Amino acid sequence: MSQLDWPALMRAGLCRLGLRPAEFWALTPAELGLMLGGEAGIAPLGRRGLDDLMKSYPDHAGGDDDDRTG
């Protein structure tokens, strides 16, 4: 687990963004990062990721588990 640089984050939130302390502490790290211009989120699943997922969890034909209609 990486350590957060709380003094730098507080300076950025309180000074750069002009947040009040209660507003700063109410934010999640992801929200603060977004406000500071960080990544907007996780990239969508690409073809390679989909292929890996399909390989790990292949579809299969037949069997009682496939009949979900009752």
- Tell me the domain boundaries of the chain: 1-39
Are 40 and 34 a contacting pair, CB within 8 Å? yes
pLDDT > 50? residue 60: yes
Helix (H, G, I), strand (E, B) or coil at 30: helix
Residue 37 confidence (pLDDT):
87
- 1-24 pLDDT per residue, tens: 468 888 999 999 999 999 999 999
Residue 56 confidence (pLDDT):
92
Looking at per-residue pLDDT, the higher value among 36 and 42 belongs to: 36
34-47 CB burial, b ≥16 within 10 A, e <16: eeeeeeeeeeeeee
The pLDDT > 90 percentage for the chain reads 41
Region class of 47: left (phi > 0), else alpha (psi between -120 and 50), else beta: alpha
- The pTM for the full model equals 0.50
Residue 20 identity: R
